[in-house]
Structures are given as C-alpha cells and as structure tokens.
Amino acid sequence: MQIEKPYLMFIGDVADQLAAKTAAGIVDWRRDWCVGQLRLPGCKADLGIDDVGIAEAGRRGAKTMVIGVVNAGGVLPEHWIRSIVEALDAGLDVASGLHTRLEDVPQIAEAASRNGRQLFNVRIPSINFATGKGTKRTGLRLITVGTDCSVGKKYTALALEREMREQGLDADFRATGQTGIFISGRGVAVDAVVADFISGAAEWISPAADPSHWDVVEGQGSLFHPSFAGVTLGLLHGSQPDAFVVCHEPTRKTMRGVPAALPTIRQVIDATIASGRLTNPRIQCVGIAVNTQALDEAAARACLEEIAAAEGLPTTDPVRFGVAEIVKRVKALF
C-alpha cells in the first residue's frame, strides 16, 4: 500500500469536531502533506487549514483525497459520493478510512476505472492473519489504553514515539487505526479484522524485535466501552505490553456514543493489569495522559496535579506539555 502525498482532506458535513478526528490527526502530525480541506455545507468540523475546492487542490499538487472522518459503523453517506467522483475525475486517487469499501459503490468504481485512479481502503485489512498465540516475543512494548474512545490514545502513542527517540530509545509507533496508518504509512486497522484474529493481528503488527527496542502500540476503544471492549482486549492480549499509559478526557460525562458511565482511571489501571497479565505478567502502568483541550491552562495544571497525586504516576497532557516525564519513567524502569 503506497498512498501518494500530498493530501486533500475531505471531511464532508460531519456533525462535530470529534467525527473529523482522522483528518485532524493527519493535519496535526503531517501538516506539510495537507494542501487543504474540502467541507460540504453544514459541516461542523474545521481542520484549521485552507478551504479549497477540488480544482484548487489539484493546482496545489494534491495527489490523493483522504476521507478523513469516523462515524458509527463507518458507512459512507450517499451524498458524499458526488465529491468522490469529482476528485477521481480531477485526477486524484481516493483513500478512505471507512468500513465501506470504496469500490463497492458502483459510481466510484466506475470513476476510478474511467480515470485510471487508485482507491485505498486503509480500514480493510488485506492480510490473512493467524490466530494469536500468546507466546512471549522479544523486544519491549508499550500500549496506550483509555477510559473511553477518542481520548487521545493515538496522539499519546505518537508523542511517546517522538520523545522516546529524542531521549535515545529505539522506538516505533505501531498504527492500529486508519489515522495512524495515514500518518505512519503502515499498520492494521484492528477494529476491521475478523474477530477471531484480533490478537493475531496485534501480534503481527508488533513482531519479535531487539530486546531493547520499543514498539509503541496505538490502543483502541476501552475495556469499559460496551461497543468496543472486545477489540481493546484482543489488542491488549496480542500486544503483550510491558508498559501502558492510561489516556483520559476529564470533561467527558458518558462513554462516547452510548449512555454508559465513564470508569475511573484507577479502574482502567486495575482492569488493564488484570487482563494484560495473561500474556505479560510484568505489565505495569507508567503514566497518565490527559486530554485537557477543554480546560484553560490553570485548570489543566490543577487537573494534572490532582490525578498525579491520586495515582502516584507521571501525569501530563501530551499536546500541551509533552511526555518527557513518562519517557523518563520508562527509562528508569526498563
């Protein structure tokens, strides 16, 4: 899979900023690759880059239109098809992170064929995985877990990769979702793997490595989310992490998309250790990453201090304050 850069970011008419988190993540980590955003009337998200039409995107050199949104079920809304066909007619490839296969929409398949363009479905794995084995592999692994979905697990993993490298560790981000794959150019969307192979896919993503090498695995979902906990658990077992970081959003009142209560950070630490020790008895929590975007700086600092005091672990907002303290902890422990 080789998706050509730069990208035109298509976010349609999504209902909120969270629904455009794929696109926002790509812009945050690979801004140079994004020539602009294409939004439809009524769009409630904004990537903070130029609004461009397809023609202007072409003039700016765009090679691929990225459908950078998530929605429950990952279905492609019918009224987006027209924009996708226009992009193909303008000579762009199209890459999607939705569950719907682009080529399963006849107008899109025809337009791609007519223009000799490529369609990419990063969320649909093209590999046949084995079932997980649970056997301990060489190398060190860290995974990000969450009190909920959409709380910063990918951001935290990417920030940890960057900081670990800066502090002299040999580390690689391992993408498990569409955004991570767009950012790193490899990985597997584990939520799209056939359920029998979740832990096997996680083992494939993070193969045996040098004893001092760190894989920083992007977590998915939450052990406490009634829709997705199975994915979270399979990924945890297959990753067999030595270390994990809990990600949290302090203003969230209910689990994303469902009327369920949020677990506490302590519940997530305990459940992750209880489940994770099945494939790695040494698993331990090395820090807490709090998404304080909704708080002002004073409130954010107070929130981090309170959590750090309660849990006795390095606690930070990776976007605001970096993850240096967590990586120092990792270096001290391993």
Q: Which two tokens stand for residue 67?
A: 């459908």
CB of 205 to a second copy, least distance (A): 13
202 φ/ψ angles, rounded to the nearest 5 degrees: -65, -35
Question: CA dihedral in degrees (118, 124, 128, 131; nearest 10)?
Answer: 160
Distances in Å between the Cα of 333 and the Cα atoms of 34, 169, 327 are 39, 13, 10
CB of 68 to a second copy, least distance (A): 18
CB of 195 to a second copy, least distance (A): 5
Nearer to a second copy, 3 or 190 (CB): 190
Nearer to a second copy, 72 or 333 (CB): 72
Contact 144, 243 (CB under 8 A): no
Placement of tokens 């490595």 in the chain: 209
DSSP 28-68: HH-GGGEEEEEE-TT-----SS-B--HHHHHHTT--EEEE-
Nearer to a second copy, 159 or 283 (CB): 283
CB of 123 to a second copy, least distance (A): 9
**Is 285 strand, coil or helix?**
strand
Nearer to a second copy, 87 or 198 (CB): 198
Contact 3, 241 (CB under 8 A): no
**Is 94 strand, coil or helix?**
strand
Nearer to a second copy, 279 or 315 (CB): 279
Nearer to a second copy, 131 or 138 (CB): 131
CB of 258 to a second copy, least distance (A): 5
Q: Catalog residues that contact a second copy under the rule CB under 8 A.
A: 72-74, 99, 130-135, 190-196, 198-200, 224, 226-235, 237-238, 255, 257-260, 271, 274-275, 278-279
The answer for residues whose C-beta is within 8 angstroms of residue 132's C-beta and 6 or more apart is 197, 198, 199, 200, 202, 203, 234, 237, 238
CB of 216 to a second copy, least distance (A): 21
